[in-house]
């Protein structure tokens, strides 16, 4: 059981790190001359990368929804980790992982919403490619979903 709990803890830490990297890193969309994330754009001029604001053509409401959902996914996953550690030592068996599972489910939904909106609204032309942060967001979605399922499965175990 100890190895299982350590594995779950490592999985949860991994998802938090991936969510933070996907939210902070500047590579949701890339070409040879620019790299865009949900906060700004880096343009290569004269061999140097320069930070600029996002284009005015970006729909502000959708952009704010992607930003908020990404940040909320990080917050929910971080809270889920803290709740996991607290529940491990305070609650009786059979009730331990309910809140951790709920927080992971919320994080899973938030990052899925962020990546889905970004795909539908901001990646409409085929000229740019998806960047590593976008791919990390989808990997984090899968891992948060897996950890959510594990938490709800372990909740039912009483031994």
pLDDT one-digit tens code per residue, 74-111: 999 999 999 988 887 786 665 678 888 899 999 999 99
Query: Residue 159 pLDDT more than 60?
Result: no
Percent helix, percent strand, percent coil in the chain, to nearest 5: 65, 10, 25
Name the pTM for this structure.
0.87
User: Strands, E, within the chain: which ranges?
Assistant: 29-30, 34-36, 41-45, 48-52, 129-130
Pick from 23-32, 83-92, 131-140 the range whose average pLDDT is largest: 131-140
pLDDT confidence of residue 97: 81
For residue 60, the Cα-to-chain-centroid distance in whole angstroms is 21
Reduce the DSSP state of residue 51 to 3 states and report it.
Answer: strand
pLDDT confidence of residue 80: 92
Q: Domain 2-28+59-155 - what CATH class?
A: mainly alpha
Residues 15, 147 contacting (CB under 8 angstroms): yes
């Amino acid at each position: 059981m100890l190895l299982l709990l350590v594995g779950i803890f490592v999985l949860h830490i991994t998802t938090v790190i991936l969510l933070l990297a996907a939210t902070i890193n500047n590579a949701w969309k890339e070409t040879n001359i620019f790299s865009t994330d949900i906060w700004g754009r880096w343009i290569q001029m004269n061999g140097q990368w320069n930070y600029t604001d996002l284009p005015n053509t970006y729909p502000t409401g959708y952009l704010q929804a992607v930003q908020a959902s990404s940040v909320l996914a990080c917050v929910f996953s971080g809270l889920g980790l803290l709740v996991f550690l607290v529940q491990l030592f305070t609650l009786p068996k059979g009730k331990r992982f309910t809140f951790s599972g709920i927080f992971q489910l919320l994080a899973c939904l938030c990052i899925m919403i962020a990546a889905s909106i970004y795909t539908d609204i901001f990646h409409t032309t085929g000229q740019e490619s998806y960047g590593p942060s976008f791919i990390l967001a989808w990997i984090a979605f899968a891992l948060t979903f897996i950890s959510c399922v594990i938490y709800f499965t372990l909740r039912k175990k009483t031994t």
